[in-house]
Amino acid sequence: GAKMVFEDTCVGCKVCTIACPFGTINYNQDTGKVQKCDLCEGNPACASACPTGAITYVDADWTGIDKMRAWAAKANTPASAAA
């Protein structure tokens, strides 16, 4: 899965940076927003702690990632090998 940060909703409170047990969320001083970290699994503490709901966890199955990967693998196969 992936953690998505909706920058329009983020108020830069940094609560998520405190809640993250891995310390992987970065605050960008130029934008006043947090930046997406690595790919956590399950129910990330940052998403639960965010008071504005700016951080959302998206399950990889929901995005159809497996279908996209299968299509990409098929598209990258030479025509002679596919026949």
Task: Work out how many domains the chain is built from and give that number.
Answer: 1
CA distance 49 to 70: 35
- Indicate which CATH number applies to the domain containing 23: 3.30.70.20
Domain enclosing residue 69, as ranges: 2-82
Q: Which two tokens stand for residue 11?
A: 């108020």
CA distance 59 to 65: 9
Q: Are 40 and 3 in contact (CB under 8 A)?
A: yes
> Tens digits of per-residue pLDDT, 37-76?
666 777 788 889 999 999 887 765 655 666 667 777 776 6
Give the C-alpha distances (Å, rounded to integers) separating 81 from 73, 74, 77.
12, 10, 7
Greatest pairwise CA separation for the chain in angstroms:
56
> Tens digits of per-residue pLDDT, 5-42?
888 999 999 999 999 888 888 889 999 998 876 667 77
